[in-house]
Homo-oligomer: A and B are copies of this chain.
Amino acid sequence: MATAEELKRRVRELENELIKCKQRRSSEEQVHARAKIEKMSAEVVDSNPYSRLMALKRMGIVDNYEKIRSFAVAVVGVGGVGSVTAEMLTRCGIGKLLLFDYDKVELANMNRLFFQPHQAGLSKVEAAENTLRNINPDVVFETHNYNITTMDSFTHFMDRISNGGLEEGKPVDLVLSCVDNFEARMAINTACNELGQVWMESGVSENAVSGHIQLIIPGETACFACAPPLVVAASIDEKTLKKDGVCAASLPTTMGVVAGILVQNVLKYLLGFGSVSYYLGYNAMQDFFPTMAMKANPQCDDQHCRRQQEEYKSKVTEHPKQEAVEEEVVVVVHEENEWGIEVVSEVTEAELQAASGPEPDLPEGITVAYTIPEKEETSGQTVEETDQSLEDLMAQMRKM
């Protein structure tokens, strides 16, 4: 039988041990956070997470790096490409990130960067937000755990693109498509055409060894409905890949490269340096990186795309030199040329026109992802003139 003295000593011991245990837990949690930083500084000290980015100014690459904090970017799809895209933007100090994904983290995702085994079972947007907020608490995060292709979610998605900017009520500055299927790409395309929202598309082939990024400016460049989506040629038939019980291959390398060239294009577009690429492909087998550009198709199936084309035309007519510079929605001020964009590939006006049809005259090594069966042998035939509507094509894709 323990004496009162012994019991009191035991209580003190246990209280001390409990305090220590709680302190350890607390420190394990709290050590993850760094304090928020009010103003980006270029000071060269080990404790400054922005010193290497602010150095881009001193090196003459970027005029005003701090401006990165004024932008809001939506990332749709937080998988192999989207998660790394979000991490890069977070580490670059973007103002706000909006993340959209309906999926959960699985161990089967561990062959790509970003997610870790202990996150299996969490929603991708929740897991990503936890990690990213911890990496950079200066970024504002907004996450949506839903499938943008369902009716209600699509309406909400449209609303957040229009109003989810850094200042609530203003549109986001850029939408990035990092999804892995045709339907979700078409949903983003439809939303961005209706809203006149500039966006960038990205994709990786199902054999994991090619990928691409593409800039879409509604009314100016080809939208996703203007021309069939393009892929860098792979030596296998894309159509034979999707079969029941068979999963696509993926590699952290290809997805890391695609996320890297995507976010690089975003930085160049938002901060106004270098040449923004309209289309950049990556063929990993040959280390071949084709570039090209495609104009919008006047016979595009999407009415909002045709409306944007009309608006773009009158804008160019009214302000032939500076139509984009004063443009409120685009936000970015490009000082070098109209759009701050140069076509990297040597594509002529005629080639661009030719590329607007259903079977564009593509640079060597690029092929369309899905071909539409031709009905007649007329040249200049467009998607709209074929027997199949894009809805039919989508239905067909779903069945594959």
Contact = CB atoms under 8 A, between A and B. Distances in A.
A350 interface: no
A50 interface: yes
A284 interface: yes
Interface string A258-271: 01110111011000
Interface residues of A, number: 95
Contacts of A151: none
Interface string A140-171: 00000000000000000000000000000000
Given A51-B247, A289-B289, A112 B91 contact: yes
A264 B284 contact: yes
B287 A280 contact: yes
Contacts of A7: 4, 7-8, 11
Nearest to A205: B59
A380 to B, nearest CB: 30
Given A32-B116, A254-B260, A256-B256, A59 B106 contact: no
Interface of A: 2, 4, 7-8, 10-11, 14-15, 17-18, 21-22, 24-25, 28, 31-34, 44-53, 55-56, 58-61, 84, 87-88, 91-93, 106-108, 110-113, 116-118, 131, 134-136, 206-209, 235-236, 241, 245-254, 256-257, 259-261, 263-265, 267-268, 273-275, 277, 280, 284-289, 291, 344
15 contacts: A2-B4, A14-B14, A52-B247, A60-B207, A60-B236, A91-B110, A91-B112, A92-B111, A113-B113, A253-B263, A254-B260, A257-B257, A264-B284, A273-B285, A288-B344
